[in-house]
Amino acid sequence: MTGKPDAGLYIDPPTHHFLGDRLFDSATVPFGGDDILAPYRCIREAFAARGIPVHTADKIHKAPASQRKLYVSMGRIPPFEALAGRSDVVLSAFFAMECPIVEPSLYRALPRVGRHVKRIFSWSDSASLARFTGEPVPVEPFRWPQCFDAIHEGIWANRDRKFLVMINGNKLPRLYWQELYTKRLEAVEFFNRHGEIDLYGRNWDDVPNRVGKTWTPWTLRRLHDRLRRLRQRLWPDPLYVAARQANRGPAESKSRTLGSYTFAICFENMILKGWITEKIFDCLYAGTVPVYWGDPEIQGAIPPECYIDMRLFKGFAELREFLHALGPDEIQAYRDAARHFLESPAYDPFRKETFRDIFRRLMAEDLGVEV
C-alpha cells in the first residue's frame, strides 16, 4: 500500500485519567514513575511516521466516518455492543494490564470481553488466571513494556550508597490470595528495628488506600476511613508504626532515589506466573541490587545473577545476614550481570519497541495496513 492510509489507531487507556490524548503526555503522571508513558509515545511516533493518527478512544466518535478505526483497550471495558455495531471499527485487542488481586472485577469480565474482541493479551496464561476468570479464557502473551533501553549511566555509576530502600505507596489489595503487600510491610518493620531501611512513597501518614474499583458509596468509604484512623490511634498496628518511622516521603525520581542505595526490597503486588512489572527494572537501571519476590518463574525471564531471590531465605533475619555478608566484588557482580542483561537480546521482550510491534501486527492483521 502506498500513500497515506485512511486508518487510525484508538487506544482505550487503563483509566479515564489518560483520556483526551493524555496517554501520550509524560506530564500526565508526574509521580507515576520515570517517563512511564514512553511505550505509548513510541507507538504514536511510529504510526505518525506512516501517516496513521493515534489517539485515545474518546476521540473515536469525532473521527471521519470514512476512516477505518482499530480499537485497542488497555484494561477499560467499554460499551462493546455500541462499538461492535459500527462497520468502521474493528475491536482488535484487550490488554489485561493490572493484576487480579488489584482489579478482580476486570478478570471476572474477561469471558464477556473475549466474546467481543479478536484477542486478549496477558502477561500470564489461561490456566494461571482461571481462578479469577471463572472459566478458561484464551490469551496471547506479552511482557510489561519498559520505558528505558539501557542503564542510567550517571546514576548507575554512583558508589556513595546507603544500605536498603523500598519504594511503594500505602495501599491494600482487593483480594488477599498470594498477595505481597503484607510481606512488604513486614520487611520494613524488620529492617526498621535496625535502622537500616528507608521507605519512599505516598500516603504513609494516613490509613492505606484500597486499590481497584468499588461500588461502595463515597460517604460510606469516608466513614470507614474515619473509623480506621480512630482504630490506628487507639490500637496502633506495629507494621504501620514502623512504616511511618521509616518513611522519607515521596520519591520525586525513582531512578535517583534507587541510585542512592545498594539494595532494594522489590516485591510485586502478588505471586503469579508472568507478573513482572517495572519494579525490578527500575532497580536494574539504577545499579541497585533488587531483593525480588513475585513471578515464580522469574529466572526464565531475568537471569538470577541480576537479583537476590527472596524465596531462598527462611525469613528477613536470614536475608539480612546474607546482605551484610556480601563484599564489594559480589555486589558488583549483580550490577554487572544486570547491565549485561539489559544490553542483551534476553531483554528484548520487555522493550517498548517490542510492545510497539504488537500494535503494528494488529494493524496489519485486522486492517491490512503495514506500519
pLDDT in the model for residue 207: 73
Q: What is the pLDDT of residue 212?
A: 62
pLDDT tier, 26 (very low <50, low <70, confident <90, very high otherwise) = confident
User: What is d(CA 206, CA 15) in angstroms, rounded to the nearest whole number?
Assistant: 24
CA distance 331 to 321: 14
Question: What is the arithmetic mean of pLDDT over 101-130?
Answer: 95
Please enumerate in sequence order all residues whose Cβ is within 8 A of that of 332, keeping only pairs 6 or more positions apart, or say none. none
Residue 211: DSSP 8-state: P
Is pLDDT at 2 greater than 60 in this prediction? no
- Rounded mean pLDDT of 184-213? 89
pLDDT at 1: 43
Coil vs helix vs strand at 256: helix
C-alpha separations of 169 from 42, 172, 199, 209, 344 in Å = 28, 9, 9, 9, 32
Please name the residue that has the C-alpha cell 524488620: 190
Residue 3 pLDDT: 60
Dihedral (CA of 127, 140, 98, 58) sign:
negative
Residue by residue, DSSP assigns 32-74 as SSTTTTHHHHHHHHHHHTTT--EEEGGGGGGS-TTSEEEEEES
**pLDDT computed for residue 219 by the predictor:** 74
Q: Which of 43, 4, 46 is nearest to 21 (CA)?
A: 43
Mean pLDDT of 155-160: 94
Per-residue pLDDT reduced to its tens digit, 43-87 = 999 999 999 999 999 999 899 999 999 999 999 988 787 888 889
* pLDDT for 15 beyond 50: yes
Q: Please tell me the predicted confidence (pLDDT) of residue 117.
A: 96
pTM: 0.91
DSSP state for residue 16 in the 8-state scheme: G
Q: pLDDT tens, 263-311?
A: 999 999 999 999 999 999 999 999 999 999 999 999 999 999 999 999 9
pLDDT digits (tens, 9 = 90+) for 314-361: 999 999 999 999 999 999 999 999 999 999 999 999 999 999 999 999
Residue 233 confidence (pLDDT) above 80: no
Averaged over 244-260, what is the pLDDT?
Answer: 94
C-alpha cell at 42: 513510541
